[in-house]
A and B are shown apart, each in its own frame.
Chain A
Amino acid sequence: MPSMNAVLFLSFLLFSVGVAGVLIRRNVLIILMCVELMLNAANLNLVAFARHSGTVNGQAFALLVMGLAAAEVAIGLALVVALYRKKDTIQVDQINLLKG
């Protein structure tokens, strides 16, 4: 049974990798995957604290977030397809119409 601290540290690592991926990687698909990483880091936190407090509220939240993530991926991938059709690329550094 891993300790509470170890779980929280893993969650922290996962989240950090997700943030770094979102901020650094150029490929939209990778960015979306990193977003999933961050969501799952949050899920891990929720489950860990649920076990620590002995209630099921946190676990219920985690289930809800998974469902939400599935919906989010569907929308996100649809946006990526639309983007590709429009700009012929999925590299975010080449999509800079908002440049001032």
Chain B
Amino acid sequence: MIMQSTVSSALSLPIHSSVLWLIPFLPLFGAILNGATGRWVKSSKLVDAIALGSVALSFLLVLCCFARLLGQAPENRSVNQTLWTWFDLGGAHVLGGVTQNTMAWAYKFDPLSGAMALLVTGVGFLIHLFSTGYMGEERNNGTYYRFMAYLNLFVFSMLNLVLGANMIIMFLGWEGVGLCSYLLIGFYFEKEFCAIAGKKAFVTNRIGDFGFLVGFFLIFMVFGATDFDTLMGMTRGILAMPQITLFGITHAPTWWFNLIGCCLFLGACGKSAQIPLYVWLPDAMAGPTPVSALIHAATMVTSGLYMITRMNFIYINAPVALTLVLCIGSLTALVAASMGLAQYDIKKVLAYSTVSQLGFMFMGMGAGAFSAGMFHVFTHAFFKAALFLGSGSVILACHHEQDMRNLGGLRKHMPWTFASMGIATLAIAGIFPFSGFFSKDEILWKVFEGWYAGGSVLSLAAWIMGMVAAFMTAFYMVRLMVMTFFGEYRGAGHSDPYGLTVPSEVAHHAAHDDGHGHHEVHVPSEVPWNMWLPVAILAALALIGGFLNIPHSLHWIGSSHFTAWITPLLFQTGPHVHEAVPAMEYLLMAVATLVWAPGAMALAWWFYGADPTWSKPKAFVQRFPVLFRWVNAKYYVDEFYEAAFIGPCKQLGAQLWAFDSLAVDGMVNGAARFTLLAGHASHWFDAKIVDGLVNLVAWILQQVSLGFRKFQSGRVQNYAFVMFLGFLVFAFWKFLA
């Protein structure tokens, strides 16, 4: 068996490693090609071909590599390709002495990064396809090529992040996706709120990146290496050290691992929108909807999860950091889900839902169930991308109306979109056998098990929060579906007998739409195939994706392929023991899928669906006005940040600026003025005193010589006369003597 796999890997390795670099670089070429030439390309179909083609090729390559990986023994499932040495440190002082580590531009294709790459290119391709329909208006105003180039650049960055074989390449991708996120959120930068949302996302991510960098530096100081294989291999040795002294601080290895874990988790909080850095994600909905689906639901926001799974050798050995992940994750899951309950903007609901689901994933990681968390990444990518793209279709069909109070009744007009979003809703609510059930239930069970198997009471608290969040998830998703797809269409010009609609920006948009016809009485219709097809594919994946990882307790349905796929990459703390499945798990599972989620859905239906006048929610708001106001205003967290951090920061900036302009500039200007004055004085002294003295000497000499000049007549006879006179005087004097 081993020999056979060695032979097969020896045969297939060269093929793998030679094409590996193409996976990330193909989208880069697409981005460069479109970005550099798109402005002059007449037909946007060509832009489509380049953008979609590069991602599709990349996806096919990932599929090939993935298929090869499947054919190998678990311990051989890793393909590395080192392209070149990026930079050479030339010797750095780290814990183990001086390291001659060189930072290589290297890629690593293993079960984890391969699965992520499959997700990024696969979902990425579907969303590229969707964008060709959704961004139709941009085809005419010359910004279309820019959008496609950004999307390709994002895919390149994200592939760097997941395929990078060391932390440097990962960080490159980490920053690259942040940049693309900024560019794409601010795609409509001529609108001020889009530009502001882009800046907010970027700055918030920078705070997280600070933590990531510190964690990265600490890892380098402790391990003296950056590539994941080496780090993983060294972990046991580091752990065996009695204590570690860095920067004059001495602690046990576990203490340092905790510190590293917390620092890295700060980075994950920024990228994956966890408390306290989640605030950028809802605002990021200002970007085009495909961007929300690709970056802010399916891929980029999961990079924090990917990073933690990659760094599992740190987290497994860092109990405090892991507990922090658990607490933050569960808190985020609960708080964000509750915020989603009272939003009217269809994309905002989905945004808070995303934050909440990311919280679930972190919860799973915090419970030490990395594969469960990662599995939720995948199922979530399917159903949340489907929901976002579906909402994009709705928004486009209703002429950029996003307020759910002005939608409604679309079930009849947009059957494909409705069906796809319905499946995705059942999946996210956790109904058996949709994918969300398998992934979310696994996480919740692992968290519960943390307490049930004799763990801390924190796990129980986290589990309770998770259960409440799951309840809310089912509630707000059904609320979204009912408000959007049931009842009668309440768009502009349609009857609105119950007074549910609100004035919106659409009137303004419709006025500017006049170019292609009047829409006074507009009937939404199903979007073209290149838009509903990606949604349908994603919904299908959301329907069947769960069967890739059937929990051990349901082994009579199938086995947990995904866990088995990921597990060889995880740091093994001890021999794995298959315990008997406690009856408790069956009980919780049954409760969750038969009572809990359907209960929430029924409640939401009873609130919004059964009564078209929405009298019950209105009564509820009347009865608890303060509660509603707080939830609707998202607990005033943004306002709190504004008052507590951003305001003081701005004030500090203003003060620093004042200090700068008064003191620093004053000093510089003062020095300049003093120099000028001194120069003037020096000039005066030079001109009057020094030159004066010189000129005076010359003047005196001139005056004195005026007399003598007269003697120099130039006439020989004068000289002869003087000579003769002299002779006479001499003779006379001699005569007298």
Contacts and interface: CB of A to CB of B under 8 A. Distances in A.
Interface stretch (B470-478, B493-501, B556-564, B709-717): B709-717
Contacts, number: 32
A23 B715 contact: no
A96 B719 CA distance: 12
A97 B714 CA distance: 6
A100 B714 contact: yes
A82 B42 CA distance: 95
Nearest to A22: B720
Contact of A98 (B714, B717, B720): B714
A88 interface: no
Interface in B552-611: none
A88 to B, nearest CB: 17
Interface string B6-50: 000000000000000000000000000000000000000000000
A99 interface: yes
A92 interface: yes
A100 B711 contact: yes
B708 interface: yes
B670 to A, nearest CB: 57
A97 B709 CA distance: 13
A95 B713 CA distance: 11
B713 A96 contact: yes
A19 B727 CA distance: 12
A95 B709 contact: no
B717 A96 contact: no
Contact of B715 (A19, A22, A93): A93
B724 A23 contact: yes
B721 A99 contact: no
Interface in B715-737: 715-717, 720-721, 724
Contacts of A23: 717, 720-721, 724
A96 B710 CA distance: 13
A21 B17 CA distance: 120
Contacts of B708: 100
Contacts of A92: 715-717
Contact of B712 (A24, A93, A98): A98
A99 B716 contact: no
Contacts of B716: 92, 95
A95 B715 CA distance: 7
Contacts of A98: 712, 714
Contacts of B709: 100
Interface residues of B, number: 13
A45 to B, nearest CB: 14
A90 to B, nearest CB: 12
Interface in A45-100: 92-93, 95-100
A42 to B, nearest CB: 13
Contacts of A24: 717
A100 B712 CA distance: 5
A78 to B, nearest CB: 17
Nearest to A96: B714
Contacts of A19: 724
B714 A22 contact: no
Interface in B300-336: none
B537 to A, nearest CB: 112
Interface in B684-726: 708-717, 720-721, 724
Contacts of A100: 708-714
A92 B708 CA distance: 22
Nearest to B710: A100
B728 to A, nearest CB: 10
B724 A99 contact: no
Contacts of A96: 713-715
Contacts of B720: 22-23
A99 B717 contact: no
A24 B721 CA distance: 9
A99 B717 CA distance: 13
Contacts of A99: 712-715
A23 B721 CA distance: 6
A97 B713 CA distance: 9
A95 B711 CA distance: 16
B727 to A, nearest CB: 10
A97 B715 CA distance: 9
A67 B717 CA distance: 26
A23 B728 CA distance: 14
Contacts of A97: 714
A99 to B, nearest CB: 3
A34 B57 CA distance: 123
A49 B185 CA distance: 133
A98 B720 CA distance: 14
Output the residue of B708, B710, B717, B724 with the most chain A CB within 10 A. B717
Contacts of B715: 92-93, 96, 99
Nearest to A92: B716
A22 B713 contact: no
Contacts of B721: 23
Interface in B208-237: none
Nearest to A95: B716
A93 B713 CA distance: 10
A99 B714 CA distance: 4
A7 B430 CA distance: 162
Interface string B264-286: 00000000000000000000000
Nearest to B708: A100
Contacts of B713: 96, 99-100
Interface string A1-27: 000000000000000000100111000
Nearest to B727: A19
A93 B716 CA distance: 8
* Among B708, B710, B715, B721: residue with most chain A CB under 10 A: B715
Nearest to B713: A99
A99 B711 CA distance: 9
A98 B716 CA distance: 9
A93 B708 CA distance: 20
23 contacts: A22-B717, A23-B717, A23-B720, A23-B721, A24-B717, A92-B715, A92-B716, A92-B717, A93-B715, A93-B717, A96-B713, A96-B715, A97-B714, A98-B712, A99-B712, A99-B713, A99-B715, A100-B708, A100-B710, A100-B711, A100-B712, A100-B713, A100-B714
Given A99-B715, A100-B709, 9 more contacts: A24-B717, A92-B715, A92-B717, A96-B713, A96-B714, A98-B712, A99-B714, A100-B708, A100-B712
Sorted nearest first, the 10 A-B pairs with minimum C-beta distance are A100-B712, A96-B714, A99-B714, A100-B709, A98-B714, A23-B721, A92-B716, A23-B717, A96-B715, A99-B712
Interface of A: 19, 22-24, 92-93, 95-100
